Amino acid sequence: MATNIAELDQEKDVAALEKESEPRGPETIADLESVSGQLKQDLEKTFRQDSLDIAALEKAAGPEAAPAVAASQELEKTAAELKEEARIRLDAVLAASQAAFESLSPEEKKQLHTTYQEIPAEVATDRLKKIPPEMQGALKVCGEVFQDCEYPWAMIGSNALVLEAETEKLGDDLDIIFAIQDFDQVYEKLEALEQAGTVEHLKVTEMKNLAGQANGCFKLSGQMKSGERLIDFEAFGQNIDPEKNKNGLVNIGLDEHQVNVYQIPDAKGETAAVNMMDKAGVEKLYFQNLLNEFGLYDLEGWNNRGFLNSKAIQRIANLQNLGNSPEKIVGALPEVGVKTEKAEQAKEVISHLWEGIKGGEYKGPGLTRTLGEKLNLPDNRYRPEKVVDFITKETGAQMKSISEIGKQAEAMEKAAENSLDPKALAEYDGFLKAKIGEVAAIRDRYQEYLGMTSSQDAEADFAPYAALIRLKDYFAQPALADLVVRKIRTEEKLLALEN
Amino acid sequence: MNMQQFENFQPPVSQAKHDENLDVLKRLGEERLAKELADCGVVDPKKLAEEILESPEKEN
């Protein structure tokens, strides 16, 4: 066995040849998980990858940014070109679907893949009690912005979920989906609201998939002023084309959906009709997002979607809040339509995780129970959700910390790369030792949580367990391995200098 | 919660880099890895070394 990295490097060529002769192609989930290079080709649809911020580009090229633009004419040109190209692509999307839509009557357009249910005033009043007045005011503004859309639109996410789910979790932002065909008129209304001061920081973003290809979707985002609050909003202009892919408004595979129409009042008591995706639609979206996000749950996935740990952990909690047991969630997965190989594989991964926790291997006192008691959370149906919130915040901060350590190590290594200064190398070595200790402590924390996990309380523990185990294996431990290798290399250098 | 705060994460290492690191550590051996971890004050270096060198997919 080699005793140092220099010797290992000599062995590397032999190892590479051995690897070449190994059979190719994934055969198991474990194999599939490691084939992360496939990721970028596989993921066809996603709505969270911002790529072209037209408004920002516009600003960069506008008079307020004149000195910067003057300093870089090329930037101005590029920004203008990019903006123009994005507009050309948007027009191309609209033109491509024109033939499919021009024969439809206004009624048929409105009902494309969509049925509407007016919610009676007494039911609406009761359900809306869960939503704070300022959020209701913002929802009413959304109703006014989208009311003239020719095609279906709906609020999705927590605000839609809270109306029909057993949850105390309130939405803190506004998520809307609408047809790209209505883009221009929605943009004009939001622009008018921006001029009136109700909307701030209005932006247009062309969406791309992970392969970096424009997918025909454009996002409008910004902040909406309601009372004392500034509420973030994201309105996704979806590329629907009934002829091409039979997709409805939610173009990741949901064909038909019901929209519940609520009359929502503002502070003055004036109301507007607001479309809320119904429970079944919200549920289908969560299922699809869960699979897409778990499909990205490997090292390359962290690269592309580092925030997914918190997202995915919450999807499971959201689905449970809609009355689905983990058994039911796993049982429903085979029927969920997904468009990528990775997301298809995620079905197996999630089933496997559920088998892992319910199989009896975990004999702790219960993760949700233990943390619930420590945090003085009432022992009721909302406890798992609150524990998920707690863990999400903690792991989020730790992920950030580990990422920072990685960046610092990279920068220090570059600085010390060609250094023959033992002092600089010793300093870098000291940094690595300290950080290995820190990351190991974070990793041990996840291990500790896993030790609390109980197979007997599998239902309550499933959501945090599913994310923690992957965070430990795919984030903390690879970070540790990297720091240790850096440490060994640095110490070898130091030793060589001493000799 | 505000998801924006999570969107700027970079992974500590890429898959390719991790494969390379694991290759190096496996060749140096579990004992050496445990020694390096102990050198950094890790509480149970032997157990951690064992886990790092195991396939991360083991539990999944």
Note the pLDDT of residue B60: 38
Note the pLDDT of residue A51: 32
Note the pLDDT of residue A202: 93
- pLDDT of residue A64 exceeding 50: no
A494 is written with which tokens?
């130091």
**A185 vs chain B: nearest CA distance in angstroms?**
27
Nearest CA-CA partner of A38 in B52, B15, B51: B15
* Interface membership of A352 toward B (CB under 8 Å): yes
**CB < 8 Å & 24+ apart, contacts of A119-128:** A119/A260, A119/A261, A119/A262, A121/A263, A124/A262, A124/A263, A124/A264, A127/A163, A127/A164, A127/A262, A128/A163, A128/A262, A128/A264
**CB < 8 Å & 24+ apart, contacts of A411-415:** A413/A486, A413/A490
pLDDT grade for B15, boundaries at 50, 70 and 90: confident
**Which of A172, A349, A406 has its CB closest to that of B12?**
A406
Contact A485 B42 (CB under 8 A): no
Give tens-digit pLDDT for A179-194.
Answer: 988 999 999 999 999 9
Note the pLDDT of residue A14: 31
Q: Which of residues 86-115 of A touch B (CB under 8 A)?
A: none
For an interface test with B, the pick among A29, A170, A298, A299 (most B C-beta atoms closer than 10 Å) comes out as A299
User: Are A237 and A178 spatial neighbours (Cβ–Cβ below 8 Å)?
Assistant: yes
pLDDT grade for A297, boundaries at 50, 70 and 90: low
pLDDT grade for A370, boundaries at 50, 70 and 90: very high
Identify the three-state secondary structure at position A441. helix
Give tens-digit pLDDT for A99-119.
Answer: 778 888 999 889 888 899 999
Note the pLDDT of residue B45: 95
Rounded Cα gap, residues B31 and B28, in angstroms: 8
Q: Which residues of A touch B42 (CB under 8 A)?
A: 436-437, 440
What DSSP line would sit under B17-34, residue for residue? HHHHHHHHHHHH-HHHHH
Note the pLDDT of residue A243: 59
Q: Which helix (H) or strand (E) holds A151?
A: none
Rounded Cα gap, residues A74 and A70, in angstroms: 9
A136/A5: higher pLDDT:
A136
Terminal-residue alpha carbon distance, chain B: 28
Q: Which residues of B touch A2 (CB under 8 A)?
A: 27-28
What DSSP line would sit under A249-298, residue for residue? SSTTT---EEEEEEEEE-TTS-EEEEEEE-HHHHHHHHHHHHHHHHHT-S
pLDDT grade for A7, boundaries at 50, 70 and 90: very low
- pLDDT of residue A30 exceeding 80: no
Nearest CA-CA partner of A277 in A171, A111, A164: A164
User: Are A317 and A463 spatial neighbours (Cβ–Cβ below 8 Å)?
Assistant: yes
Give the Cα-Cα-Cα angle A131, A132, A137 (nearest 5 degrees). 95
**B27 vs chain A: nearest CA distance in angstroms?**
6
User: Are A306 and B9 spatial neighbours (Cβ–Cβ below 8 Å)?
Assistant: yes
**A300 vs chain B: nearest CA distance in angstroms?**
6
**B48 vs chain A: nearest CA distance in angstroms?**
8
Identify the three-state secondary structure at position A94. helix
Give tens-digit pLDDT for A48-62.
Answer: 233 333 333 333 333
Give tens-digit pLDDT for A418-462.
Answer: 777 888 899 999 999 999 999 999 999 999 999 999 999 999 999
Average pLDDT over chain A, rounded to an integer:
78
For the whole model, what pTM was predicted?
A: 0.71
What DSSP line would sit under A414-434, residue for residue? HHHTT---HHHHHHHHHHHHH
Rounded Cα gap, residues B14 and B16, in angstroms: 5
Q: Check the CA dihedral A356-A297-B49-A446 and report its sign.
A: negative
Q: Which of A21-30, A111-120, A142-151, A236-245 has the lowest mean pLDDT?
A: A21-30
Q: Which of residues 461-490 of A touch B (CB under 8 A)?
A: 469-470, 473-475, 477-482, 484-485, 487-488
User: Are A452 and A365 spatial neighbours (Cβ–Cβ below 8 Å)?
Assistant: yes
DSSP-derived letter for residue A227 is T
Torsion, CA A134, CA A139, CA A143, CA A146, rounded to 10: 120
For the segment A151-163, the average pLDDT, to the nearest whole number, is 90
Rounded Cα gap, residues A466 and A316, in angstroms: 9
Query: Residue A37 CB: number of other CB atoms within 10 A?
Result: 11
User: Are A29 and B60 spatial neighbours (Cβ–Cβ below 8 Å)?
Assistant: yes
Q: Which of A6-15, A371-380, A440-449 has the lowest mean pLDDT?
A: A6-15
Q: Decide the pairing of beta strands A214-226 and A229-238.
A: antiparallel
Nearest CA-CA partner of A239 in A193, A183, A299: A183
User: Are B28 and A442 spatial neighbours (Cβ–Cβ below 8 Å)?
Assistant: no
